[in-house]
Amino acid sequence: MHRQIILPVLAILLTGCGGESRTATAPVANGAKPTPGSYSEGGGLSRYYGEELYDKRIYVFGTKDMHNAFKASHAADVTKSKSYIGEGPNHETVVVQAEKDQPAMTERLLETFRKRYALQ
């Protein structure tokens, strides 16, 4: 009885509920730098990271819900974001999702962004 319940649940978890989704910009090899655009990775069992280039700003998201809401409206919630003027790879403003209950998320997003564009 338990085996009949555990196996389907395990199969769902192993296939990944979110997986990776990459559009426009994928990781690059041979030391070439990525270009800003629509990009996301993670979800499911790993931490989500997403970014969008819009109106000469790069928006960085730590949750898929906020990323999808932005893609639908092209408006970031100013009460849940921090702006870093000139911090992008081409001196763009970077707008990072910030949750007051999860301050470590903002630092993780900034670190991932800087590593992705070799800005450290």
Q: 71 in a domain, yes or no?
A: yes
pLDDT score of 110: 96
Structure tokens at 95: 């707008």
Domain count, the chain: 1
Q: 13 in a domain, yes or no?
A: no
Q: Which residue has the higher pLDDT, 56 or 7?
A: 56
Strands (E), 1-120: 39-43, 46-54, 57-61, 81-84, 93-97
Q: 1 in a domain, yes or no?
A: no
Q: 14 in a domain, yes or no?
A: no
pLDDT score of 120: 75
Domain enclosing residue 58, as ranges: 19-26+33-116
Residue with tokens 């903002």: 106
The pLDDT tens digits for 43-85 are 888 999 999 999 999 999 999 999 999 999 999 999 999 999 9
- Pinpoint the alpha helices (H) of 74-120: 103-116
Q: 2 in a domain, yes or no?
A: no
Q: 10 in a domain, yes or no?
A: no
Q: Which residue has the higher pLDDT, 69 or 32?
A: 69
Q: 55 in a domain, yes or no?
A: yes
The pLDDT tens digits for 18-31 are 443 434 344 455 56
Q: 8 in a domain, yes or no?
A: no
pLDDT score of 37: 86
Instruction: Identify the band that residue 34 occupies on the pLDDT scale cut at 50, 70 and 90.
Output: confident
